[in-house]
Amino acid sequence: MKIYPYIEGLNEFKVTKPWSNVWNKLNHSIDRRYNIDSAGNVTIDKEIFEKDDHIFFVANGKLIGTNNGEWGGQLIFKNDEVEYNIIDDNICGITNFKNNLYVLTGLSHMGGNEGNITKINNVNKKWIVEDIVDLETCPEIFLIFENLMYIITFDGLVLFDGIRINKILSNQFWQGLYPETMFINTEIIAIGLRGCIVIIDKNTYNIKCYK
């Protein structure tokens, strides 16, 4: 199966609404996770796997981010000599973007939905929080493409240019369907969810679904 350069082995179905009967069938599908690789190939996992910690290597050590949902998480710096906490929040990703280090944090649980993009910096050999941008929604996955960070959130799509966010889509049906993989080119944004693939047209932001 693939989605690029053309769709093969997948059938389109009508975009649904959150918590509808179709959504419920996707959430309980035996195809537990649709994965998309960087070439646009699609595979399906029948099981759900626990997410690993986020580990990002820096000078003289590493940043370790944990995400335990409603039980919280944290970002720490660790090497052979020291270990200290930088952020108390669920860590959804760590990345180098436009020569800055950013940490995506957030939680969506029991009606709450919040998230941030936090810039961290090493000052006097210690990592500190330098700036925080409010996403207003929990980030799930992200990819950097052509100087933009594309963030799939709990229920939408947000773009980040390093200064400000641009909320493109919100209240989409994939809330609760655990987006985990992405593919981006000049034409489309594709998301692998529980039970299906979502393809977003980058020009119109029209959404199509396949399984």
Q: Is there a domain that residue 27 lies in?
A: yes
Q: Is there a domain that residue 153 lies in?
A: yes
- Contact present, 86 and 76 (Cβ < 8 Å): yes
Output the pLDDT for position 49. 67
Q: Is there a domain that residue 54 lies in?
A: yes
Q: Is there a domain that residue 91 lies in?
A: yes
Task: Indicate whether 92 pLDDT > 70.
Answer: yes
Q: Is there a domain that residue 130 lies in?
A: yes
- In this prediction, residue 76 has a pLDDT band, given cuts at 50, 70 and 90, of very high
Q: Is there a domain that residue 59 lies in?
A: yes
Cβ-Cβ contacts under 8 Å for 97 (sequence gap 6 or more):
144, 149, 160, 162
- Retrieve residue 106's tokens: 């957030």
Q: What's the average model confidence in pLDDT over 78-85? A: 96
pTM, two decimals, is 0.94
Proportion of the chain in helix, strand, coil states, percent, rounded to 5? 5, 50, 45
Question: What residue numbers bound the domain in which 86 lies?
Answer: 12-210
- Retrieve residue 17's tokens: 């609404």
Q: Is there a domain that residue 117 lies in?
A: yes
Output the pLDDT for position 31. 84
pLDDT digits (tens, 9 = 90+) for 111-131: 789 999 999 999 999 999 999
Helices (H), the chain: 21-27
pLDDT digits (tens, 9 = 90+) for 14-67: 988 999 999 999 999 888 899 999 999 999 998 776 778 999 999 999 999 999
Number of domains composing the chain = 1
Q: Is there a domain that residue 154 lies in?
A: yes
